[in-house]
Amino acid sequence: MSPSSFESVACPRCGFPELAPQIVIVDPTSTSPEYLHSNYLPPDSVIVCTRREIAVAETGIAHVEEKMADLERVINQLRLRRQSLRDFITNHRRVLAPIRRLPTELLSEIFSHCVQRDAYEWDPTRNMEWILVQVSRAWRAVSISIPQIWSCISISDASAPKNIDLKAALSLQLERSAHCPLTVDLHLDFRFCSSERRMSVLEPLFSARDRWQSVNIHLTEAEFLHFRSDTSFPKLTKLGLGINSSKDECAFDSIFQATPALQELHYNVTSLSQIQCFPLSQLRRLDLWNVTYDSSDLSSVLGLACNILELQLRECIPLDAVEVNPKTLPNLVSLSVAECDDTLLGYIIAPVLRRLAISFFPNARLSDDLVSFMTRTGPSLTDLTFRHAPARGDRLELLALAPHLTSLSMGPMSTLIGFDFIKGLTCGLGERNLVPHAVSLEFTGIFENGHYDSLLAMLTSRCISGPLRSARISGAKRLADMQQQLLVLGLNLVDSRKKS
């Protein structure tokens, strides 16, 4: 081995260069290479020399491994230092982040959009407004200064975690909402929500009832309505009420008798008798869901709600078949009827109706009430929607009663969409030209095989002879080929199964 020399290496402790002894390793030289590729017995002198060279090589291996260990320690130290420098750069780049230069007004707008897109129910452990206050002192100050992001509360019996002080957290949120109008969504199942937990939710909310603006309440019992006889909601404009059972006939009278600003009522209570305690004459929208009614009660409700602009009836079941005089709703422009008996339409006269949506029972036949209603209102209709209707000729007969439609949506159809049904909508075919002013059409369902030519002919005729410019089709084949032929006519054809 040759004597040691010196070289400049990095210190394992600090990483800076220092002088360290360099171990120069001389490769061993074989004194008898001719024996490496044969099986001859070497003489004793060769055996002694070979053993000496093997010892030199083994010593070299030890020195090499020691050198490698030193280098690995230096590399590990350098890796740690590199990561430290990267962390330094990352942390200090945050100081230069553009969001720090945003004015408070713009940052507040961003926070508001973040909270609006938050789909979670009320939960202080994961709601966006509660997360923002934990980011930094600056963001906390901005978040607390925006009462609007604290004004929406959606609570169900299982939404908030069990290990928090629900009443304290809810009171803090109401405090941070300042004087903003509140939007409350309350779903409590009294079978799974203890009385103590219910009160921890209801007491803070009712303490701020003077700020309720939009409220949706779904309960299994009406006992929470017994707070005080003088309960009032001066700013309440939109109310959704769903109670499965109410043993107290005066419960609604005691709590909802003072709603001077109410504009929308979504009513999902089994009995219709309680609704008359609301100020129906000032409503602009009325939704009745899952209601069983006497003919006289429904007629009375429609007579009181004479100024509504929108009416939705869903799963309403009659208790009798008594004939009543229809009520005129002079301002009604939108009507939606789903899974209801067609006799409901006999209760309504809507001289200025613009939008009508009807969801049929599968394979239901046309009733005289529906035909009579379409005859009365068809001339004013501009937007018609049929859901779950069979693709039969009697549906085309209804279209003939609405000559001024500009938007028609049919689907999903409950039967196969056949050639005759499509041809019935083709312009210039037959004596009648159905829906001549249609600007947009929508058909969803399952088309019969070989429908391509008839569907293409129908859409082409409406582009050439009418103002059709938009069509949404689902369940048809070769829509891509059809689109290429209709583009030159200015029609935007969309497969409604795909994102437009």
Question: Per-residue pLDDT tens for 112-162?
Answer: 988 887 666 777 878 889 999 999 899 999 999 999 999 988 887 655 566
CA distance 171 to 16: 59
For residue 373, what are the contacts with CB-CB under 8 A and spacing of at least 6? 345, 346, 348
Q: Which pLDDT value is given to residue 249?
A: 46
Q: What is the mean pLDDT of residues 42-49?
A: 86
Task: List, as own/partner pairs, every contact residues 24-33 make where C-beta atoms lie below 8 angstroms and the sequence separation is at least 24, other chains included.
Answer: 25/1, 25/60, 25/63, 25/64, 26/1, 26/2, 26/56, 26/60, 27/60, 28/53, 28/54, 28/56, 28/57, 28/60, 29/53
Q: For residue 469, what are the CA distances in angstroms to 357, 386, 447? A: 22, 20, 22
Q: Which pLDDT value is given to residue 227?
A: 47
Closest CA to 459 of 411, 425, 412: 425
Q: Among positive and negative, which fits the CA dihedral 395, 401, 403, 404?
A: negative
CA distance 305 to 299: 10
Q: Which two tokens stand for residue 48?
A: 């002694």
> Which residues does residue 303 pair with via DSSP β-bridges, in sequence order?
none
Confidence band, pLDDT 50/70/90 cuts, at residue 34: confident
Q: What is the mean pLDDT of residues 343-348?
A: 85
Tokens 């969803």 belong to 444
The neighbour count for residue 345, using CB atoms within 10 Å, is: 26
Q: Which pLDDT value is given to residue 346?
A: 84
Confidence band, pLDDT 50/70/90 cuts, at residue 19: very low
Residue 155 parent element (H or E): strand 152-156
Phi, psi dihedral angles at 90 (to 5 degrees): -60, -45
Q: Which pLDDT value is given to residue 2?
A: 40
Tell me 417's DSSP state: B
221: three-class secondary structure by DSSP? coil
Is-contact 347 322, C-beta < 8 A? Answer: no
CB contact burial 249-263 (16+ within 10 A = b; e otherwise): eebbebbbeebeebb
CA distance 32 to 46: 7
The neighbour count for residue 332, using CB atoms within 10 Å, is: 25
For residue 477, what are the contacts with CB-CB under 8 A and spacing of at least 6? 447, 451, 452
Phi, psi dihedral angles at 335 (to 5 degrees): -135, 130
Q: Which residue has the higher pLDDT, 59 or 24?
A: 59
Percent over 70 (pLDDT), the chain: 84
Is-contact 390 413, C-beta < 8 A? Answer: yes
pLDDT 10s digits, 123-133: 787 888 999 99
Q: What is the mean pLDDT of residues 22-35?
A: 71
Query: Which amino acid appears at position 250 of this protein?
Result: C
pLDDT 10s digits, 351-399: 999 999 998 765 567 788 888 888 889 889 999 999 988 888 888 888 8
343: three-class secondary structure by DSSP? helix
Residue 410 parent element (H or E): strand 407-410
Q: Name the least confident of 237-246, 400-409, 471-480.
A: 237-246
368: three-class secondary structure by DSSP? helix
Q: What is the mean pLDDT of residues 290-299?
A: 85
Q: What is the mean pLDDT of residues 321-338?
A: 89
Confidence band, pLDDT 50/70/90 cuts, at residue 274: confident
What value does the mean pLDDT of the chain take?
A: 82
Q: Which CATH number fits domain 354-500: 3.30.70, 1.10.3420, 3.80.10, 2.60.40?
A: 3.80.10
